[in-house]
């Protein structure tokens, strides 16, 4: 199952196991069960601290638990945690076996103190890059607190369950049998939801901080660069962010950062985090800025109720998926309307789906989905695709992809629970048409995350981007901006990084002069 190179790496990791770990398999006669047993046998062969029991009695097969001999840790994987979940499996084994997690001591203590009974089930797909963060966070919580259990379920393998619970996006998290949340979430965000007092306590801690020299808002490519440049100048640097990585978390292979041949978005995000944490940067995460009040000391108010002050601020809040803004879209997000083909694509196996848009993202999505879905309709409002020719040619060569031109989306149709079709205006004959389908992947570009600045004096342009000059200064002295949230053209990772560096150097220059 595992190749020799991976086995050698794992053998080295498993020397870090302090305590025994028991893998207990629940299997049936299926091929997947045999594959799972093959994987587990490979793992047990790599360390005498890992043993395998084949007498599991989980209702889901194939599945297995990762436990300590005291039976006090409830981690289960239903399906084979390969693909993006392989790291989740290895971390679960290491942490169950006593390898210390890389989490702040106060968070570990907070997890240990959680009272009550919390049975989490997380539906994932193996190609979802956002899922491992949730699985790993919940597994860690299960390792530290016997009142918490964590089960990962591969939605592509347990289709009946997915159908019954009407899961159409991953990760979808259930707590004690009820839907708890959807989408990327880290340990602190999950803790905030189950331990509501923690938000207030964290906000009080943040508000008590002394003013910063530079406060960076955001956690993507521009923000990470800006914060590291500031910290390297030896000035007091703070970073307010919801996550590390920003949009790169939704990107698979990145091939246009010239110093690196190819890297996965989530891997690059973990490098950002490591780099940020190795500098003197005060990270406030997960926190979302909601208001900016300029002054001698600039104030940034956070959704948690906290308030942070700084002599200069760098706005690097990036961009998010553009929505179609048609009736039904909001209602069915996560119930058939999707934005991440890598994540949610596997849930549409054998179904009919649509992709909206004709740029590189849309055409790449259509090519990906054509390998999973029964049929893919690509709807564009004009009469030409704008994607690179090589991608267009590939898509148009696929038998189960249809391009529908001059199709203006009018409505997302649904039955109250899930998407049933899309209604569009056929501009060739001015008639409305209804296309029955199960999923709609919206790929129509990005919008800057600047809504929170609307009441501030920071000037935005017609596209709602923060206006910046060549020094990345905004219209307000002391406030700088960088990356996809700004008017800087060509939204690219390297450009965001360059702008982040410029904004930081300009902030430093401002501090010296004032």
Interface residue list for ligand NDP (CB under 6 A):
322, 324, 356-362, 364, 380-382, 386, 443-445
Task: Write out 489-511 in H/E/C secondary structure.
Answer: CCCCHHHHHHHHHHHHHHHHHHH
Residue length of the chain:
514
The residue number with the shortest CB distance to ligand NDP is: 359
Our CB check for ligand NDP shows the closer of 166 and 382 to be 382
What are the DSSP calls for 357-419, one per residue? --SHHHHHHHHHHHTTSSEEEEE-SSSS--S-HHHHHHHHT-TTEEEE-SEEEEEEEE-SSSE
Q: How far is the CB of 396 from ligand NDP (least distance, A)?
A: 15
Our CB check for ligand NDP shows the closer of 78 and 419 to be 419
Q: How far is the CB of 387 from ligand NDP (least distance, A)?
A: 7
DSSP annotation of 473 reads B
d(CA 485, CA 333): 24
Our CB check for ligand NDP shows the closer of 324 and 479 to be 324
Our CB check for ligand NDP shows the closer of 252 and 400 to be 252
Q: How far is the CB of 409 from ligand NDP (least distance, A)?
A: 6
Q: How far is the CB of 466 from ligand NDP (least distance, A)?
A: 19
Our CB check for ligand NDP shows the closer of 362 and 503 to be 362
Strand partners of residue 107: none
What are the DSSP calls for 31-71, one per residue? HHHHHHHHHHHHHHTT-TTEEEE-----SSSSEEEEE-TT-
d(CA 134, CA 448): 26
Helix (H) or strand (E) holding 457: none
Q: How far is the CB of 263 from ligand NDP (least distance, A)?
A: 14
Our CB check for ligand NDP shows the closer of 124 and 413 to be 413
ω before 62 within 30° of 0 (cis)? yes
Our CB check for ligand NDP shows the closer of 162 and 324 to be 324
d(CA 189, CA 134): 10
Q: How far is the CB of 382 from ligand NDP (least distance, A)?
A: 4
Our CB check for ligand NDP shows the closer of 32 and 381 to be 381
Q: Is the CB of residue 133 less than 8 Å from the CB of residue 124? A: no
d(CA 28, CA 378): 40
Q: How far is the CB of 494 from ligand NDP (least distance, A)?
A: 13
Q: How far is the CB of 213 from ligand NDP (least distance, A)?
A: 34
N-to-C CA span, the chain: 63
């Amino acid at each position: 199952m595992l190749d020799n190179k991976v086995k050698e790496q794992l053998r080295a990791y498993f020397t870090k196991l302090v305590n025994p770990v028991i893998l207990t398999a629940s299997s049936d006669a299926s091929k997947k069960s045999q594959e799972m047993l093959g994987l587990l046998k490979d793992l047990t062969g790599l360390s005498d601290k890992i043993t395998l029991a084949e007498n599991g009695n989980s209702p889901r097969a194939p599945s297995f638990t990762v436990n300590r001999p005291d039976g006090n840790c409830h981690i289960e994987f239903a399906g084979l945690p390969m693909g993006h979940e392989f790291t989740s499996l290895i971390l679960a084994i290491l942490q169950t076996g006593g390898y210390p997690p890389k989490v702040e001591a106060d968070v570990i203590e907070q997890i240990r103190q959680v009272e009550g009974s919390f049975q989490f089930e997380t539906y994932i797909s193996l190609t979802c890059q956002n899922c491992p963060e949730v699985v790993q966070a919940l597994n860690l919580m299960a390792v530290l607190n016997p009142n918490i259990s964590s089960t990962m379920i591969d939605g592509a393998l347990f289709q009946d369950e997915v159908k019954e619970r009407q899961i159409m996006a991953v990760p979808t998290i259930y707590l004690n049998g009820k839907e708890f949340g959807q989408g990327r979430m880290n340990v602190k965000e999950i803790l905030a939801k189950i331990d509501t007092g923690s938000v207030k306590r964290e906000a009080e801690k943040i508000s008590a901080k002394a003013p910063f020299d530079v406060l960076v808002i955001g956690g993507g490519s521009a923000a990470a660069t800006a914060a590291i440049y500031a910290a390297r100048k030896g000035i007091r640097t703070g970073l307010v962010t919801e996550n590390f990585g920003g949009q790169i978390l939704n990107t698979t292979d990145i091939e246009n950062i010239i110093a690196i041949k190819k890297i996965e978005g989530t891997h690059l995000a973990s490098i950002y985090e490591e780099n940020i944490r190795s500098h003197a940067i005060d990270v406030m995460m997960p926190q979302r800025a909601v208001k900016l009040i300029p002054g001698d000391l600039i104030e940034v108010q956070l959704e948690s109720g906290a308030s942070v002050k700084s002599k200069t601020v760098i706005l690097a809040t990036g961009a998010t998926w553009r929505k179609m803004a048609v009736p039904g879209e909001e209602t069915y997000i996560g119930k058939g309307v999707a934005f991440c083909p890598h994540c949610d694509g596997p849930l549409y196996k054998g179904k009919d789906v649509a992709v909206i848009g004709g740029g590189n993202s849309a055409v790449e999505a259509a090519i990906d989905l054509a390998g999973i879905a029964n049929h893919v309709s690509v709807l564009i409002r004009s009469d030409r695709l704008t994607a690179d020719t090589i991608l267009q040619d590939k898509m148009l060569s696929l038998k189960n992809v249809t391009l529908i031109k001059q199709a203006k989306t009018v409505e997302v149709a649904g039955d109250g629970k899930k998407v049933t079709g899309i209604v569009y205006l056929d501009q060739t004959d001015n008639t409305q048409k209804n296309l029955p389908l199960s999923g709609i992947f919206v790929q129509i570009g990005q919008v800057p995350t600047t809504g929170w600045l609307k009441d501030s004096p920071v000037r935005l342009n017609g596209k709602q981007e923060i206006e910046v000059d060549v020094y990345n200064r905004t219209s307000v002295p002391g406030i700088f901006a960088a990356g996809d949230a700004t008017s800087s053209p060509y939204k690219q990772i390297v450009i965001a990084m360059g702008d982040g560096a410029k904004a930081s150097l300009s902030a430093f220059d401002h501090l010296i002069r004032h």
